[in-house]
Chains A and B, each alone.
Chain A
Amino acid sequence: MTSKVTWKELKQEYSENGGLGKLWRAEVERICRFRIRQKQNLNLPAELFGFVEWDSEDLTQTVITERLLSRGQAKYIMDTVDDIDHALRLLSNEVSFTLEDRRIPNQVDNVWSNLEPKLRDLGWQPLGREPGGQNESEQALISIIARKVLNLKRLRNRGQQRLSPLFAGETLRGFAEEIVLDYPNATEYVIQMALREALTKISPRMSMEAVGSTQEEFGAVAGLGALKWVDDLDSAEGLSADAARILEVLGSEGSEISFLIASGASQNEVASVLGVSRPTAVKRIKQTEELLIKEFKSIGIDDDHKLRILGEVFSVLGVGISDGEIIK
């Protein structure tokens, strides 16, 4: 990722102001704009992240107040960083964390909407809850169930820029059976609170970027890889339109399959995410491949441009590209 501002300038501004200034704000906003564009390309509504509408200024303000100032992360960056790439990677992480923190309630809803039918199939009844605050036995049960959720096998991480499913259907079915058998008194409130407690802990899974070594060594996972790839955010606009059109043709299942295959998922893993058998998954993978080939043939442009569009498709899907390599 290229940046017009240098680390020296950011550092100087911080020292002179005794805190963040215009340059810092501009860099945070630049990353926020990029993140928002990715979310919009995935058709993710702003409400999912606790915003009324997608507005880079709102997100920038939230990142600055909730992470950089309240949690002292700006000072951490000042204490640790030696170059602009490292600073941008850490800032990018802060933007991701902010978005994930705000998404937890919706993650709970998502998992709950998958779990509830499985519980009901097993005869679980959503018992009412006694009015009043949380009592001790209720709290103890929440902790136990939260621990169970934490121990559930999560699906392999497929990048941070999208809504990955957390658990395979089979895993949730097993979990539902365990609840019905071992904790028949668990109310809807208890299970939801347990999910909230567990998902708060799991949330870094969604947002953590590689803040490792140099860009050459580790690139950056997903978003930052994409950020680096498209270098100039403005020139990416044209590519986005083509990529969006291809994704529209692929549809949600096709996009999911493309994402999983591009990030190295096995046929079994694709099957578990789609909730189908392996032979069916193989068939759908083949169909998606054929669709992609057909779409790219119809574009009728040079190979270099096609590759850039493919890169943008991956970027939108949440698969990063660094130094020509696909990274998750």
Chain B
Amino acid sequence: MKKRSIFQDFAVGQVRKLDSIKGIASARLVAIAEIDPLDATCLVFLLSNSTDAATPRDVVIPRKISKLSYEIALMGDYLSRADQGRLVNNPVLGELGRDLIEAVRKAEVDSPFGRLNIDETQFSIEIGSYPAQKYDSVWNFRDAEALNFELLTFVRNKISIDYAVKFYQLNVENKKVFSEPEVPFDALRFRSLSSERIEVAA
């Protein structure tokens, strides 16, 4: 009998813990904004419990919407990429809804400065109102959060050899993927080299 996994598949809007990196960065809660199965990563928004210090760039989400036991602030400017491997072992703690995530991403692009332009009543959320000023403790807190988040996540470089290697390793059994236009050139080269080796061996 096939053993059923206790873990849910990834979905946009899920709240999960992003594992810490021992001695380097502490764990944080994140909301999944986009899933990329080809290189097993997710784009994630950073979440914070400091709702009192949510700025106009943050979205404060009440418990009844997220189904969490506490209010949470989605830090709109903190969007980065994380390995799925560091999320998959952690259960889904809450759901923010795909529409809300899409609205935040749109608002991020439409209003890169100032208050996030999101309809608060439509999503039953609140936009933060804390007026951060340079060098106040919220400023320092956000600075520290950004550094920690940067250590937990990474910016994907699609023309890097790392990306090509990972792409190849993850999709080596999935031939269809290699005919798609997004496939990295080096991944094609690895595939072609490995095919030649098989032919020689045969």
- Interfacial residues, chain A to chain B (CB-CB below 8 A): 71-73, 75-76, 79-83, 86, 90, 93, 97, 150-151, 153-154, 156-157, 160, 201-214, 216-218, 221, 328
Contacts and interface: CB of A to CB of B under 8 A. Distances in A.
Given A157-B140, A160-B137, 12 more contacts: A72-B68, A72-B69, A79-B17, A79-B29, A80-B28, A80-B29, A82-B20, A153-B133, A154-B136, A204-B53, A211-B144, A213-B24
Interface in B8-43: 17, 19-20, 23-29
Contact of A151 (B25, B50, B53, B131): B131
Contacts of A80: 17, 27-29, 49
B144 A213 contact: yes
Nearest to A212: B144
B147 A72 contact: no
B138 A86 contact: no
A32 B93 CA distance: 30
Contacts of B29: 76, 79-80
16 contacts: A76-B29, A80-B17, A80-B29, A80-B49, A82-B26, A82-B27, A153-B133, A154-B133, A156-B134, A204-B130, A212-B26, A212-B144, A214-B26, A217-B147, A218-B147, A218-B148
Contacts of B137: 157, 160, 204-209, 221
Contacts of B19: 82
Contacts of B139: 157
Interface string B123-135: 0000001110111
Contacts of A217: 24-25, 147-148
A216 B93 CA distance: 29
A86 B22 CA distance: 12
B115 to A, nearest CB: 13
B131 A208 contact: no
Contacts of B135: 156-157
Nearest to A154: B133
Contacts of B93: 79
